[in-house]
Amino acid sequence: MAAKAKKTKQHAKSVCVVCGKDEFLVANRCEALVDELLTPEQRPMCLYQPRADEVAAADVFDELRTLPFLADRRVVLIRDADKFVSANRGILEKYFDDPSPTGVLILTVASWPGNTKLAKKLPKVGELVKVTDIARRSLAGYVAGYTRDKHGKTFAPGAAQLLVELAGDEPGRLCSEADKLAMYVGDEKNVTVKDVEALTGRNRMFNAFAVIDAVTEGNVAAAVGRLRNMFASDKQAEYKVVGAFAYHFRRMFKAAAMLDKGANRNQVARQLGLWHNVDGFFGQISRISLKGIGCVLTRLARIDYLTKTGQADVKIAVEQLILSLTAKQKNEAG
């Protein structure tokens, strides 16, 4: 450990700019940087973390040039520093020309244009750390790795992907749910699909099931009312509602396809791990065609794309989907 710390100190930069859009990922990278620079015992005396919107640039530079106490360096960490950088660009340029030999300045920003004087000066005194977003297809692996490293637990096949579907694609929220799951399973080493369903998706999946029940029955008032109650009773629902519905309809699609190929209900239930309201589930399948379920999944994927790119409001888009599906079911039944 001592050798590692010594090596880190020899290669410490005077300035480090951490650039990224995701606050959780940026914060994690900052913590790792500070850990490389200071021991836990050194933090109270040698780490200064002012609010970017309250601190004066002069105070920042005074801190950086103050000799560290019982340490090799003093670290100043300014988060969300975009406005701070813009307001103090000139004085920062001067500091980049003559940085403190015992101070390390860490700035987190959402953007760092490469054509500015600061950006061009940075490589001489420090480094730019780019924190890229995690692709959705990689989120299951990311949260599984996080859970393994932090809690020593592994996700059973399909469990991490289900968590992404139910909790959304923000790394911070996913890791928070993973922390809860690690506590929920206790001494168990594996987090199963049932664990995710029971803890993360319990209320949301039950509410989605109730909405789908009304949709397949062609009951417009009940479907819309249950959907609105779902949003009203769960502040996180708008971030996860598409995933909850997609999860249900995917299971319906698999079940309907198996039934079409000659499987019986017991075989389907066993294959899909159905353990709650089995009769209600098969009742829903009996009221909508396999093609109809496929169309719903296509529309949900479209809604997911539009809402994540800012082209649609999730509440409005999902309610419009529910209205059109329910009306279609009602007309076909009539």
Residue 42 pLDDT greater than 60, yes or no:
yes
* Residue linked to tokens 């397949």: 216
Q: Which residues pair with 47 in a beta bridge?
A: 75
Q: Is the pLDDT of residue 11 over 80?
A: no
- Based on the domain organization, do 42 and 126 belong to the same domain? yes
Residue 108 has pLDDT above 60, yes or no: yes
If asked whether residues 66 and 183 sit together in one domain, one would say no
Residues 158 and 208 in one domain: no
Three-state secondary-structure class, residue 313: coil
112, 223: one domain: no
Q: How far is CA 189 from CA 20, 177, 178, 215, in A?
A: 33, 16, 13, 39
pLDDT band at 10 (very low <50, low <70, confident <90, very high): very low
Q: Check pLDDT > 80 for residue 12.
A: no
Written in H, E and C, the secondary structure of 216-228 is HHCCHHHHHHHHH
Same domain, 49 and 144: no
Question: What is the Cα–Cα distance from 161 to 197, expressed in whole angstroms?
Answer: 12
18: pLDDT strictly greater than 80: yes
Q: Tokens standing for 236? A: 């996180």
Q: Which of 177, 199, 221 is the last residue of a domain?
A: 199
Higher pLDDT among residues 165 and 320, named by residue: 320
Residue 288: count other Cβ atoms within 10 Å of its Cβ: 21
For residue 325, CA distances in Å to 224, 235, 321 come to 11, 25, 6
What is the pLDDT averaged over residues 221-225? 91
Alpha-carbon gap, residue 151 to 130, rounded angstroms: 27
CA angle, residues 54, 44, 63, in degrees to nearest 5: 50
Domain with 53 in it: what CATH number?
3.40.50.300
Answer yes or no: do 251 and 322 share one domain. Answer: yes
Q: What is the pLDDT of residue 202?
A: 59
**Nearest CA to 225 among 327, 293, 322, 321?**
322
pLDDT in the model for residue 65: 93
Q: Do 157 and 110 fall within a single domain?
A: no
Residue 204 confidence class, pLDDT cut points 50, 70, 90: low
Sign, CA dihedral 240-241-242-247, equals positive
107 and 144 both lie in a single domain? no
Domain stop point among 110, 131, 152: 131
Number of domains in the chain: 3
CATH number of the domain to which 140 belongs:
1.10.8.60
Same domain assignment for residues 121 and 140:
no
Give me the domain span that covers residue 195: 136-199
SS3 314: helix
Q: CA 246 to CA 251: how far, in whole Å?
A: 9
Same domain, yes or no: 224 and 323: yes
Per-residue confidence (pLDDT) for residue 141, from 0 to 100: 94
Averaged pLDDT, 201-221: 81
Tokens encoding 279: 């009769």
Q: Are residues 186 and 275 in the same domain?
A: no
The answer to whether residues 184 and 212 belong to one domain is no
> Given 108, 131, 154, which residue is the final one in a domain?
131
Q: Can you give the pLDDT at residue 8?
A: 41
Pairwise pLDDT comparison (194 vs 56), residue with the higher score? 56
Say how far residue 135 (Cα) sits from the centre of its chain.
11
**pLDDT tens across 224-276, in order?**
998 998 888 777 777 778 888 988 899 899 999 999 999 999 999 888 877 66
DSSP H helices in 218-276: 220-233, 237-260, 265-272
Token reading at 21? 């859009």
| Integer angstrom CA distances of residue 208 from 15, 84, 243 | 49, 45, 10
Element (H, E) at 108: strand 103-109
Domain CATH number, residue 245: 1.20.272.10
Of the candidates 212, 213, 153, the residue with the CA atom closest to the CA atom of residue 178: 153
Query: What stretches of the chain adopt beta strand conformation (E)?
Result: 15-20, 47-48, 74-78, 103-109, 126-131, 154-155, 190-191
Residue 58 neighbours by CB under 8 Å, 6+ apart: none
